[in-house]
A = this chain, B = another copy of it.
């Protein structure tokens, strides 16, 4: 994890202002009998895309301008089993000129099963060139850099 991410306790549900939920699917299991490591990356994507798309609709559609992921880190903290659900907490850990780092905790109830860090860049999705974050998007994301969501106004 990057410097800024390590200051946040990603194994504590209290660290996260935004929450998503995913089903553990039978097809997420592997021959070891538990949830395969790749499914953790899927759960992280579920939370990441839901937050980014909800806060700024259209930003994950891949048409014209939007988010592109450039780096993903997943730490496998505990096993996950079927059947079950995964609660995914997400928080902005860093805002750059054209990028945003999201950190996540994956939980089975209050038990942390994994953590994640994703660096996303605001791009012209056709050329792949980075673009400055729009001001309104930056303001919205800044509301999710702490453990609690921004108060409704």
A residues within 8 Å of B by Cβ? 21-23, 25-27, 29-34, 36-38, 41-42, 45-46, 49-50, 53, 60-62, 68-76, 79, 82-83, 125, 128
Contacts and interface: CB of A to CB of B under 8 A. Distances in A.
Nearest to A48: B26
A30 B32 contact: no
Given A23-B23, A42-B38, A71 B69 contact: no
A30 B70 CA distance: 16
- Report how many copies the assembly holds: 4
Contacts of A41: 37-38, 41, 72, 74
A72 B46 CA distance: 18
Interface of A, secondary structure class, is mixed
Contacts of A25: 22, 42, 45-46
A129 to B, nearest CB: 13
B45 A27 contact: yes
Nearest to A29: B31
B75 A70 contact: yes
Contacts of A128: 79
Given A41-B41, A45-B38, A83 B31 contact: no
Given A25-B46, A31-B29, A31-B62, A53 B125 contact: no
Given A37-B45, A41-B41, A128-B79, A26 B71 contact: no
